[in-house]
Every structure is written in structure tokens, then in C-alpha cells.
Structure 1
Amino acid sequence: MTDLILKLLGARVEAAGDLAGARLAFQGGLGAGWVILLALALAALGVWTYRQWPPATTPARRYLLTGLRVAFLVLLTFLLLRPVLSFTVEGSVRRTLLLLVDGSASMQIKDPRVNPDDLKRAALAKGLMDPTKGLTQQPAPARAREVQNLNRLDVLKGALKNEKLDLLPRLDYEFDLVPFSFGTDLNALPRGKTELTEGEGEAKKVRRKAKIAQFDWVDKLEANAITTPIGDSLRKAVELKRGQPLAGVVLLTDGGNNSGLSPRELAAQLKQDGVPLYIYGLGITSPRDIIMANLFAPEVSFVKDEVMANVRVRSQGLAGEKAKVILKLGDTKVDEREITFGPDGEQVVALRFTPDKTGDFELEASIEARPDETVKDNNARVQHLRVIDSKIRVLLVEQSPRWDFRYLQAMFMRDRRVELKCVLFEGAPSIARDDNSPYLDRFPANKDELFKYDLIVLGDVDPRQLTPEQQRNVNEFVARFGGSLLMVAGKRFSPGAWRNTPIEQLLPVEFDAVNTATATGDGSAEKPVKLALTTQGRTSTMLRLADKDEESLALWKTLPPIYWVAKVSRAKPGAEVLLVDTDPLKASRFGPMPVVAVQQYGLGQALFVGTDNTWRWRKNVGDEVYTTFWGQIAQRLALPHVTGGSRRTQLTLDRQNFVSGERVSVYARLYRAGFEPVQEPVVKGSYTLRTGDGGGATEISLRPVPDQPGVYRGEFIAPAAGNYKLGVESDADTRVDFNVTAPRFELGDTAMNEPLLREMAGLSGGEFFREETLFQLPDKIRAKTERVRSPLEVELWASPLYFLLLLGVVTTEWVLRKLSHLK
């Protein structure tokens, strides 16, 4: 109707929309009073012209003819005012609407719908109930069984193909619908099928709504991606359509975000860009499920040495229920523990065992799956464990026999896993001459002597005791051959006297070249030093004093005090601070002063302990805490070198455990006899399954790293799940092991993340939907779509409609006059 009116007024049809308002204006230039006076005069003239009538004319016809004459003369007078109709036309610019469909593996989860509302939601999606009546209706029992165990992808397909909802045709009719599926990558889906046909008159397009069957890509949707990067996918989709007017994004997902950008931050950014999120959440919010979240155990252990494994178990909807956590080494059960589930959340279960033979094993923690669980294959975690019978070769170097030296020496000599050698510069020469003496008469003079050790413990030693070449050898031992250095600070020399030496380069802390004793006192201070674990320290296995986190923290708080710490400036960039002095007077702008810190240096590690008072921790408790502290540090630092194989072939990976499809980086440091670096343009390597039943080896190429003689680097993609070994062609006896597991990100949390999805919708200015409100989705988007108002002026006096009105009045009068036998 609007189009017809505007056509009669002579307006452009393509400018039409919905008329939001209209007003009349005059542009004639004459005063309204003069025009009205003239109109009255002409009206009087019209009445006067019909003063005489034929006798047969009825009064009604006389009045009608008089009125038509007066109307014609008034309309003619009205032209002098040049009337103009000003319309406000309201319309909307056709906008693009993005549709993102979750294609990750979690969409294959078959939710056990034991809650009646969850059954109703699945029935609504599948079209078994009226979508406008929500959860107040009941599905037929036979139909309810059809949806009881549908997976999330089938529920989604049902909603998109539901003719009662008619979602896709409605959205495609109102907007330029651009669909994508997303998982690890963002993939475009076929565009909509809405038809455009030629309308009548001017070249105007008419839209015809598509049929649901025309969106055939719905049946081809898959859910096999190993990750759900919701934030990344939204960002990529919006960037692809940047510059186009967007009505918003429709997101169909279970909310299982597990990689990439923060969805919350992106939702807030989309709000600023005027792109609201309309989110349909799939899945159930309280499924029953047991999830073996993590297994924490050492990668290497000693035979007949107790191994502690901590298991994080997450439960949902199982408060008060019991289960058994079983730990297996290979096929042998080595420990089990019964647990009681509390409210939804995690608990840590500590398990212990003692391996009795060497070799490579799979350590598995598991809980038997329950019949009512949502997912039954996320109840186990596996980690590779190598059990060895080698000894840690430790070189303990000291200036004088201070208390910490004595206790450390005694602890190492009692440990069957340690082969200890000591250098005591101020000791009597005769101590090195006794049979089976742990003492050496000098510090190792060359690389061959030094590089046979795994760990160097450097105490409060005068740097002048080591030649410049010996100091460089220590640096190379750590940086190039994967050894470890542990410095235990002292009041005479360490660390301050080592300023501007190759040893200083290794240390994870920065300090000034001052006399340490002068700067910090002689150690007889009566004021105790208060220490505190950092966030990294609380999670470090080196500083764990008990099986459970809370017990370990309690022990740290009850340790006897120490009375001296070495003055340092700060931790080096990249170093990890584990223990700090809480005294604010010793802090710097970088934070509290570090007392224990560690850093990776080249292929090896260096750890700094800034006190020689740990022997005080033996008070009232004996050796237990002291031995645990130093034993864990020594083992953690030395084991990578113990298991490194040949000293002339050093192979390292960025980590030991990978997920199939991840990128693996391997470094090789290769030397010939005499420790001369290899200088080949390419070094061939290969990896294969350790069991030998996975086919042939896969070759990789390693190429030289610039400016690092003997160092080679290569990359490859982690293969299918399994346990692998990697080596280089030049040294068949040296290998590095790594493990690949199938992706499990999608089974880490099986509940629909409704809080996240609701928050994202709110932050972006959109809305969250479940099946009971899904029918409102197209109307909600249309209601929030910005409408454009534009003025439209029509000169009424020159319009076809005004001309037709004049012609109609005068023609009617002429016809009536002829019927009345008037001239």
C-alpha cells in the first residue's frame, strides 16, 4: 500500500519503506490569509453560478453539483500555496548475519537425559512438541525414548531442520546469512538458498523464502575437531566480513572452549564493534561424569625407590558416591585408593608404589566407568615412566667444611642412588689419599674429567680456586652438555665474588660485586629471616615436603627459622623464583628478594640457594625435611643428564609428552672425539615406536643452528598415539623417548558451559537461548537490527495524485450536469 501511495504521488518506488510519519508544508510564498480570502471568494462564485436550476433538478443533486464546483475552485486556489508532503520513511539496510556451528568432538557426546526438562528440550529441538509452548508440555513416552540418548550434534541438526521452528529460512530471508563450522579451523559452509525474482514496474527485487530442504549442508555437519577455540573462531569470522554491516553472530555450541583467545574478552570487543552474539547452548548443565583430569608423576625414577603419583579427579553430579582410583604400572596394579565424591569439582588423590625392575612402562591411573556416566572414555590417564638403575654422579665443591657441606655430604653418601665425589680446597691433602675416599685432590682439570658428572654443587668457593679454563668448562658443561649446577650461597664468596665470570652467566639471579659478608653480616644475627613460597614454588616438585599441597604448605610454615640470606638484586629475566625473603627492606622494584631460583641455561639448568642455614631445619625433626628438600633438588637437576645417553650426542625435545597433531621440536648437540663440534650441512634422524610393531622408521632432517657450532634443529608433527624413540644416524646407541596421546581436550569437561555462554551473550549485547526460547531467535535479532530513517519530500501540487483529484472532481461535475440537462 505504501508503494502505491508513493507511486501516485510521484515518489521513487525504490526509496519506499515503512512510513514512520508525514506532515504538510507550503512553499507558495503567498500569505495564507490572502489564499483563504481568495478561496472564499471563489467558493461564493461557485455557489452563485448555480443560483438557477431546472425545475426537474432534485435538491440533493443541486447541492452535489454546487459542492463539486466549490471543491474544484478551492483546489485550484490551493495550488497557489504549492503544498508539499514531507514523509519520514523508515527502513533497514540488509545486513550480514554470521552463523557459527560447533564442529568439535564434544558435540558427539551422548548426554544421558535423566532430567525431564532435558528430555523436553531434545524433543523441542527435534520437532516433537510445539516450540512456542516451552517446557509446560509433555512429550509422548514413545517419542521421548527417541531423544533420550541423542548426541549434541543430532540435537543441533534436529533444531536446524525443524519445520516448526523454521530457523534457517527465517534468518536467511531477513539477513544475508553466512554460515561457518568451527573447530581447530574455521570452515565456510554453503550460502543460503533464498531466491531473488524481478518485481513489477521498476527493477525491484522480491525475496522468496527458501525451504529447509535447500540447506543441505546441515546433514553433512561433522564433529571431529580436537579443540574448540571459540574466541579465535569468532575473531576470524568477523574479520572475514569486516567492512560489511553485521546484524550479529549466531553461535551454536556447547561452550567447551579449550584453546585460543579468551571468549569473554572477544565478546566485550564485539560489543564495542556493535556485533551482538546470539548463542544457542547445546548439551546438559549437570551430567553425571568422572573425569581423570591429570596424572602427575616423575618421568624418570630409580628401581626400588618409592614413587609418588598425584591424580586429579573431577566429578559432576556424584556427591556422596564412592569410587576406587587404581594405579597400574604396565599390566600390574601397584596401588589403589577409595574416594568419596563431594560437590562438583576436583580432588587430589595421592598414590605410591615402588618399582622393582628397570625399563620403560606406562603408568595408568583409572576409575571404572559408571553406567550412568555421560562419557566413559575419560576415566583414565596414562604417563610414560622410565625406571633406571643408574647412579647420579655428583661433584660437591667447597672451600671449607661449613655445616651445610657436612650435612649435604652425609646425605649424599647415605643415598644408594648417588655416586659422590668431593673437592674441599681448605681440607688436608691427606683426605684424598685414603682408600675409597670420596675426596678428590683437585678440581677436574679438563672436559673429559668434568663431563662425566651429572650435577655440580658449588658452595662458598673462592673463584681463584678455579682457573679461567675450568670456569669455562663448567659453563659449557651446563650450556652445551645438559649438566646442572647448584650454587649454595655463603658468607665469604658466593655469589658476590663470582661477578663477571662464566659462572655468573649460569646463575638465575643478578648481584653486585661486593663482599657478601660485609653486605649481609657475619651470620650471627639473632633476627630470624621469614621466607615464603611463590606461586611457582608452591607447585614445584623440588620444594614439596609432603604428598598433599596443604600438608606441604603447613610444613613450610612450621620449619625452624634461618638467620642469614645472601643479598641479590633480582631474578634474571626468564628465571623461575621459588622462595623469597618477605622483608620489604630487601625488596626491589621487581618484587621480594629471591632466595631460591632456577633457570634453564642452554641445554642444562642452574639453581641458586641463597642461604647456608638449611641445616637448621633438622632441629627437633631430624633429617626428614632436610633430606627431602635437598634430595628432590638433586634428583630434579641431575636426572635429565643421567638419562641423556652419550655425552657427545645430546638430544632434547621441548617436552616429553605430546598430543597427536602437535608440532615437535628436536635439538641435537653433536660432537666428535675430543668434543669437536660436528659441522655437517644436514644430519639425518628418525623416530619409531619403541615396541617395534608400528612399521618402519620415519626420517627427519636436522639442520645447523646459525652461530652455534654442533647444534642442529629439526621439526615434525606428532604422529598417531604411541610411545616413540628418536635418534640420529651418527649415533645409533643414543635416543630420546617421547609419548604421543590422542587428543582429549574435548572430554575434559562434559557439561554445557552455560555460565560462559550467558556471560558472552551479555557482554556483547546479545542473548542466550535454550530450546524452549529458540523460536524467538529470528525476531530478537530483527528487533535489535538498527533501522534507518530518511526524509522524503513530495510536491503535492505537481503530483499525479493531485492532477487526478482535480480531473476527477471536474469530470464528475460535467457528467452530473449532462444528466441534469445543463449546459
Structure 2
Amino acid sequence: MTALLLKLLGARADDVARVADVALAFRSVVRPGWVILCLSAAAVAVWAVYRLSPVQLSRGRRWTLTVLRALFLALILMLLLQPVLALTIEGSVRRTLVLLLDGSASMQIKDVRMDPADQKRAAIARGVLDPTRGLTQPLDSGRARELAQLSRLDVLKSALRNHRLQLLARLAQHFDLEAYAFGQGLTPLAVDQAASSPGQHPTNAPGTETTAVGDWAWVDRLKADAPRTALGDALREVLNRKRGQPLAGVLVATDGANNSGSAPHDVAAVFRQEGVPIYAYGVGITSPRDVAVVNLFAPETTFVQEEMPLTVRVRSQGFVGQTIPLVLRLDGQQVAAQQVQLTADAEQVVPLRFTPTRPGEFTLQAALPAQPQETLTNNNAVSQRLRVIDAKIKVLLVDGAPRWEFRYLQAMLLRDRRVQLKCWLAEGSPSLASGEQSPYLERFPDQKDDLFNFDLVILGDVDPKVMTANRLDNLNELVSRFGGALVVVAGKRFTPHAYRRTALDRMLPVEFDVPSPEADREPVADRPIRLALTPAGRASPFLRLSDKDEENVGLWSQLPPVYWVARVLRAKPAAEVLLVDPEPAHSSRFGLMPVLALHQYGLGTVVYVGTDNTWRWRKNVGELYYRAVWGQLVQRAALPRLLGGARRTQLSSDRQNYVTGERIRVYARLYTAGFDPVQAPAVKAYYSLHEGSGLRTEVQLRPVPEQPGLYQGEFVAGEPGPYRFWVEQDPSTTLEFSVSEPKFEFGQTALNEPLLRDLATLTGGAYFREEDLYRLPDTIQAQTERVRLAIEVPVWSSPLYFLLLVGLATAEWLLRRRSDLK
């Protein structure tokens, strides 16, 4: 009735629930008093006309005709006042509801439903049980067996198509629906045509088909094949696409897995600020029976007869108290095993050790046996490539005096069976080298042949008068032309500032502008400094203390502080900074001061360590972290030379093991026959499967700015298998890497109900399971914000006003005809 009245008044009445307030106003400059005076005079004149009429009229008819004529004249006179109705209308604006449906591989999981509640949820989704009666209704045992192993995708599709639930149809009555599938990205499935602007049409992604949302055939096109789930990124992308448009909310149907991209909780905070609620439908079961090998944390390269420690992360659910064997295999042969007692639905770290006996390229696999009634068995093993080499790293440790850093570093390297260590102290006695098995040298190796025999030189706090120009030039040649590595450890007396404008200054990855006062006096070292990881440091294999990023950052934040760092200005343009001094007082105009930095120098690597206090990391834990950092630093700096990196073509990648769909970044450092950097604008390279069709794929490598001879390229990891990569100018030098099938989706098989509940609570939405789905449309509609709109309706020019005028004139005319009045 309200909508009809508003239409007669000429106002838009779309989605109006009620009129909250009404007020009459006049918008004319004519004073109402004059109109009232005219109206009174007109009323008297009309009364006189009918009172003095020659035709005999009954009293009632005379008054009726008088009133009709007076009202007609009153409406005419009211036009002078231009009356308007000021209305406050309360209603709802038709909004868009985005359906975000999980299309990741974890939706393929066929949950083993042992709990009757889970069986009934599947039955509700399939339409076997009444969706309004919840989990108290009985379910036939035969039907329960049929539903025991439905995939999560089948459950979701069934719920959307359920004729008893009518979920999509009921939602479409109140909202403009837009449906998307998400995994690594966002794929449109269906768009409500009413939501599109006239003349505009949705743009489909390549290879996708989008239909109107009312055509429920799009439900059948939903697939579960994405190798990763980026729930946070998908939510953020929806918000970006719909920014500025009225949203009723986002309905997310998922198992809650999130293994890529933004943290969903961070995105939920943005949704709360924007006032967009998230409604979550959890698909799956919360307590599946499953064991999984989540991660294998092992070096990619090791040494023959060197015991290799590694860790395996194991997750279990539903097998509390059982003991099963964790087996480590090298190319299919068992090399280690350990019994694992499964805990209460938790993840545990299992340490393993084994000793390779021969060199070569191998596949290392950690595996758990399949268990009875296990939900998923293809997550029971993780593999990676392992290279075993038969060599030792030859290290020369040079320092001025036996300071604490020298002593602890020497002791650690002497115990490392991968290392063949020689030491020289500039201020030490030559008699140190007289012992039969002494690691000391009588003098610094001045002959090139002697110096070039080392893979790595660690240079400490040595007087530059001792490290003559000839010795520094030889070091320069060892690194730049023969692929050796140099680690420079700063000291309070000389290094690095005393080497300004020397060959070492050119080799270092850091710059210092003016001589430091530290060169003139003994520095004070009494304030603790907690070194901070940079983003590059968090990702660097040099500084890994844990296989988990969060744990690694946490361990670094807990390391004991150092009490002195050498002042430098900044890192050189091509250097990579891994650790910085976070003190603002020590920073320069270029930012925080670098403490650990490295760069490629010619064919080799130069590492700068800007403190001689790393030995303090041994506090309370012994060599645990000290050995981890220095061991990785020594091994990774020297390995390129051991693996043939001194050649004119050096190939490397950011990792050795990838999964399908990941981006592989490769580097090529190329030199001419005279060891001058290659200057070509682009370099052709190729990659192919070791055992395949023989087809090769071309990759264009581009120069890296400010690094002569260094080229970089990227490509996407293809089908699983071992690959090799080479550049066109040197096919004999190859880079080996492996690609495996992604298993991110199967590391966590349980429905992540806590995450979905959090997203709903944080944004003002709601969480649903199958037994609650019948309430979902009403819940969203009830929470949709209502709009109050103030409008003015010009009554004097409305259709209703015109109809009243015509109606009064017509009624008077008909009555006059019946009364024989002209």
C-alpha cells in the first residue's frame, strides 16, 4: 500500500519497506494567509450560489455540491502554495553477495566419516535428510555407508544444488549473486546480469566460461585442481574488485586450508573496516584420521662419509598413542629409520641422521606407512634431490692475534670433518707450526699456487702492513678469477677501515666514507646490540636455524646480543644484506647499518661480517647456533668452487628442489676466454627433462644491473621430474634441479574450523555447517544494513493531485446532471 501511494505521488518506490516519518511543507513565496482568505471568500461564494439556485435541491444534496465545489477550488488555490510532502523512507538497497568457492586440490579429499554427525552432514547436503531438522534425525545405516567417503567437492556441489534447501534460489531473491572459484587466484564462475551496468559485460579470464547466476549449471563447472590455497589473497581481491559497490557480504565455502599468500586474519581486519561481513561455510570434517610427512629439512649438498643431520616434520590426527616407523630412503634404499609415537592431533619434529657412502645425485625420501582407514595416503612421503660430493673444503683462517672469535671459530672448524683447516696468526710465533699435526702455517702463502689451493680464506683483524699489496692482489685473483671465497671478519684494530683504498676495499660488499675514530682509540663495547634479519636474511639459506620461517625469525630474535659492530656507510649496490644493526643512532642517510653482507665478486663470493662477537651466540646452548650459522656460511661460500664454479660459465638457481607451478629463478655468470665479463644484451638458455621427449624450452636471460657478466631469467616449473638447464654458448656446463608434484594441499587434512569462525566473528558475519545452512539466507538478509532516505514529493504536481482535481470536478458534474442543473 505504501509503495502504491508513493507511486501515485510520483516518488520512486523501489525496495521501500516503510515510511518512517511524514511532514507537510510549502515551497511557494505566497503567504498562506492570503490563500486562506481567498479560499474563505470562494467557499462563501459557492455556498451562496447553491443557496440561491432556482432549482429546488434537498439540503443534503446542496451541501454535497457545495463541499465538492469548495474542495475543487481549494485544490486550485493550493497550487499557489506548492505543497510538498517531506518523507523519511526506510528500506533496503539491493546488494551484491559474492560466493567464494574453494577450488583447491584439498577439496578432492574423500573424508572417512566415522562420526555419525559427519555422516548426517553429508546426508543433509545430498538432500537425503531434512535440512531443517538438524543432527537429531535418524539416518539409515545403508545410506550412511553410501555417504561415508564423498569428496568435499561433491558435498559442496550437492549443498548448492539441494532442491530441499534451495540455497542459491533463496539467496538470489534478495541479492545479486556473483560466484568465483579460488585457489592460487580468482576465477569467475557466474555473474548476476542485474548487477552489471547497462552496456557492460563481465570479462572472463582466458579459458573460463561465465554464465548468469540464475543458470545453476555453473555449479558443475567448479573443479578442485589448484595446487595451493590463497584464501587471504582471494578475499583481498574480491574487496578490491568490489570497492565502492554495496556488498551484502562474502560467502566463503571452503575447508579452511590456507598455505599461500596473505594471512586471512590480516585481510579480515580490512573487511571489518570496510563493514563487509564474511559468512563461512565449513566443508570437511574436523577430526580426520591421517598421518602426514609435512616437511623434510635437509641440505641440498653434503659430503661422502659425512654424517648428515636432518629433521622431518610429522603431523598426525586420530592415531593417538600408536607407534609407526619413519623411514628415510636414498634412491629407494633405506638408510635410516626411527619409531615415531603419534601424539594428540599435533605436529612433531623427528631428527634423523645418515652417512652417505658414495658421491652422486640422489633422491632423498622420508616416508610413513599408510594406516588403516586413513583419509589420505599421498601425503605420507616427501622427497628432495641430494648431491653428495667426495671432497673437503680447504679453509685458510688468517688473523692478527688469537682473539675470542678466532679461538672459537678455529675450534669449530677443526671439529668439522668437511673442512681441512690451516691457520696463520700474523702476531703468532712461527713455532706454532712446528707440531706434527699443527693446523698452523709458518707464514702466509705468498706463492699463488699455494694460496690458490684453498677454497675459502677467512681474513680477520690483521694489520694492513702485514697484508701487503701483493698478498691482497693474490686474494683478489683467487676470488675473481678462480672462484674462491673470502670471508672478512671485522676487528676493533684494523679491519675494515685500515684497508681503505686497497684491493680489499674494492672486494668488500660494503662502503665506508671517512676514517673511523675507532682507528685511533680502543672502541667501547659495553652496549648490547641485537642484530636483525633483513627480508633477504630471512630467506637466505646462510642463516637458517629452523625449517619454519616463523621459528627461524623467533630463534634469531632470541640469540644473545653482540657488543660491538664496525661502522660502515652502506652496502654496495649489488650486495645482499642479511643482517643489520637496528639501532637508529648507528644508521646513515642510506638506512640501517649492514652487519652481514655478501656479493658476487668475479667468479667468487665475498662475505663481510661486521662484528667479532658472534662467539657470544654460544651462551647457554654451546655451539648449536654458532656452528649452524658458520657451518652454513663456510659450506655455501665454498661449494661453488668445489662443484666446478671456477669455470667461465657458472649456473645457479635460488633452490634445487621445486614443485609444479612454482617460479624458478636461474642465474648465469658468464666470462669470455680472457675472463672478462660477457656484455651481450641477452643470452639464450634452455631447459629440458633428463628423461623425456628430448624437447627443450628456450629461456631469455637478461643482464642484472650493476653486475657485469651476471644474467638472470625465470620460468615456471613444469611436470615432475629431474631437469637440466644450460646456456647456448656452453652446453657442456649444466645446472641440475628437480620438480615434484605439489603437496601443500594435503599437509593439513582437517577442516580448519577455528580459522573460519575467527573470520566470521572478526567481520560481523556467521559460521555455518550443513545443519545450519537452511538459516543462511535469512541470516544474511537480517544483517543487511537498512537505509533511511529523506525525500521531498511535490504534491501539487503529482499524479494523485491531478486525479483528485479530476475526481472532484467529475463528481460535481455528475451530481449536477442528476439534479437537472446546467
Contact kept, 8 Å, 2:597 with 2:608, in 1: the verdict is yes
Q: Give the match's secondary structure for 2:329.
A: strand
> Alignment RMSD, CA only?
5.2
1:393 aligns with 2:394: yes
Q: Give the match's secondary structure for 1:120.
A: helix
1:158 aligns with 2:158: yes
Contact kept, 8 Å, 1:659 with 1:718, in 2: the verdict is yes
The equivalent of 2:566 in structure 1 is 568
Contact kept, 8 Å, 2:614 with 2:626, in 1: the verdict is no
Taking structure 1 as reference, are residues 221 and 400 closer, same or farther at Cα in structure 2, changes over 3 Å only? closer
The equivalent of 1:439 in structure 2 is 441
Contact kept, 8 Å, 1:281 with 1:757, in 2: the verdict is yes
Q: What displacement does 1:309 show?
A: 0.8
Counterparts of 2:430 and 2:450, CA distance in 1:
20
Q: Give the match's secondary structure for 2:566.
A: coil
Contact kept, 8 Å, 1:509 with 1:608, in 2: the verdict is no
1:174 aligns with 2:170: no
Q: Deviations over 1:704-747 (max 9, x none)?
A: 44554433333332222222233345545543322212222222
Q: Give the match's secondary structure for 1:650.
A: strand
Q: Give the match's secondary structure for 2:324.
A: strand
Counterparts of 1:442 and 1:682, CA distance in 2:
42
The equivalent of 2:749 in structure 1 is 750
The equivalent of 1:287 in structure 2 is 288
Q: Deviations over 1:560-594 (max 9, x none)?
A: x99x965524796653349x9x9x9x98579xx99
Counterparts of 1:40 and 1:118, CA distance in 2:
84
The equivalent of 1:457 in structure 2 is 458
Please tell me the residue identity of whatever aligns with 1:172.
Answer: A
Match of 1:82 among 78, 89, 108: 78
Counterparts of 1:556 and 1:213, CA distance in 2:
55
1:660 aligns with 2:663: no
The equivalent of 2:362 in structure 1 is 361
Counterparts of 1:47 and 1:398, CA distance in 2:
130
How many residue pairs are counted as aligned between the two chains?
779
Match of 1:799 among 792, 799, 802: 802
Counterparts of 1:314 and 1:658, CA distance in 2:
22
Please tell me the residue identity of whatever aligns with 2:566.
Answer: V
Q: What displacement does 1:127 show?
A: 2.3
Using the size of structure 1 for normalisation, the TM-score is 0.78
Counterparts of 2:409 and 2:501, CA distance in 1:
28
The equivalent of 1:128 in structure 2 is 128
Q: What displacement does 1:800 show?
A: 0.9
Q: Give the match's secondary structure for 1:158.
A: helix
Counterparts of 1:191 and 1:153, CA distance in 2:
21
Taking structure 1 as reference, are residues 379 and 805 closer, same or farther at Cα in structure 2, changes over 3 Å only? farther
Q: How does 1:708-727 map to 2 (within 5 A)?
A: 708-727=707-726
The equivalent of 1:638 in structure 2 is 638
Q: Give the match's secondary structure for 1:377.
A: coil
Q: How does 1:108-257 map to 2 (within 5 A)?
A: 108-192=108-192, 214-257=215-258
Contact kept, 8 Å, 2:461 with 2:490, in 1: the verdict is yes
Counterparts of 1:300 and 1:356, CA distance in 2:
14
Contact kept, 8 Å, 2:306 with 2:418, in 1: the verdict is no
Q: What displacement does 1:597 show?
A: 4.1
Counterparts of 1:92 and 1:806, CA distance in 2:
40
Stretch of structure 1 that moved more, 73-82 or 301-310: 73-82
Q: Give the match's secondary structure for 1:171.
A: helix
Please tell me the residue identity of whatever aligns with 1:794.
Answer: V
Q: What displacement does 1:224 show?
A: 0.8
Counterparts of 1:696 and 1:470, CA distance in 2:
49
Contact kept, 8 Å, 1:363 with 1:382, in 2: the verdict is yes
Q: What displacement does 1:14 show?
A: 6.8
Counterparts of 2:617 and 2:751, CA distance in 1:
52
Counterparts of 1:152 and 1:547, CA distance in 2:
31
Q: Give the match's secondary structure for 1:249.
A: strand
Counterparts of 2:739 and 2:425, CA distance in 1:
46
The equivalent of 2:776 in structure 1 is 777
Stretch of structure 1 that moved more, 79-88 or 288-297: 79-88
Q: Deviations over 1:536-565 (max 9, x none)?
A: 99999989999999xx99x99999x99x96
Q: What displacement does 1:502 show?
A: 4.6
Please tell me the residue identity of whatever aligns with 2:441.
Answer: Y
Q: Deviations over 1:214-235 (max 9, x none)?
A: 3211111111112222333333
Contact kept, 8 Å, 2:25 with 2:86, in 1: the verdict is no
Q: What displacement does 1:685 show?
A: 3.8
Q: Give the match's secondary structure for 1:150.
A: coil
Taking structure 1 as reference, are residues 565 and 746 closer, same or farther at Cα in structure 2, changes over 3 Å only? same
Contact kept, 8 Å, 2:660 with 2:717, in 1: the verdict is yes
Stretch of structure 1 that moved more, 736-745 or 74-83: 74-83
Q: Deviations over 1:139-193 (max 9, x none)?
A: 4444333432222211221122122332323333433333222222322224347
Stretches of structure 2 that go unaligned for 5 or more consecutive residues are 197-210
Task: Give % identity.
Answer: 45
Contact kept, 8 Å, 1:285 with 1:751, in 2: the verdict is yes
Please tell me the residue identity of whatever aligns with 1:725.
Answer: R
Please tell me the residue identity of whatever aligns with 2:188.
Answer: A
Q: Give the match's secondary structure for 1:457.
A: strand
Contact kept, 8 Å, 2:282 with 2:768, in 1: the verdict is yes
Q: What displacement does 1:345 show?
A: 3.1
The equivalent of 1:650 in structure 2 is 650
The equivalent of 1:738 in structure 2 is 737
Contact kept, 8 Å, 2:533 with 2:556, in 1: the verdict is no
Stretch of structure 1 that moved more, 221-230 or 504-513: 504-513
Stretch of structure 1 that moved more, 325-334 or 395-404: 395-404
Q: Give the match's secondary structure for 1:315.
A: strand
Counterparts of 1:425 and 1:576, CA distance in 2:
30
The equivalent of 2:202 in structure 1 is none
Counterparts of 1:706 and 1:260, CA distance in 2:
29
Q: How does 1:303-318 map to 2 (within 5 A)?
A: 303-318=304-319
Contact kept, 8 Å, 2:259 with 2:744, in 1: the verdict is yes
Taking structure 1 as reference, are residues 423 and 37 closer, same or farther at Cα in structure 2, changes over 3 Å only? same
Contact kept, 8 Å, 1:229 with 1:259, in 2: the verdict is yes
Stretch of structure 1 that moved more, 331-340 or 404-413: 404-413
Taking structure 1 as reference, are residues 186 and 488 closer, same or farther at Cα in structure 2, changes over 3 Å only? closer
Q: What displacement does 1:628 show?
A: 8.2
Q: What displacement does 1:112 show?
A: 2.4
Counterparts of 2:446 and 2:810, CA distance in 1:
120
Q: What displacement does 1:306 show?
A: 0.9
Q: What displacement does 1:72 show?
A: 3.8
Q: What displacement does 1:801 show?
A: 3.8
Q: What displacement does 1:506 show?
A: 5.7
Taking structure 1 as reference, are residues 683 and 772 closer, same or farther at Cα in structure 2, changes over 3 Å only? same
Counterparts of 1:49 and 1:724, CA distance in 2:
113
Q: What displacement does 1:456 show?
A: 0.4
Taking structure 1 as reference, are residues 64 and 32 closer, same or farther at Cα in structure 2, changes over 3 Å only? same
Taking structure 1 as reference, are residues 212 and 277 closer, same or farther at Cα in structure 2, changes over 3 Å only? closer
Taking structure 1 as reference, are residues 138 and 736 closer, same or farther at Cα in structure 2, changes over 3 Å only? same
The equivalent of 2:96 in structure 1 is 96
Counterparts of 1:575 and 1:379, CA distance in 2:
38
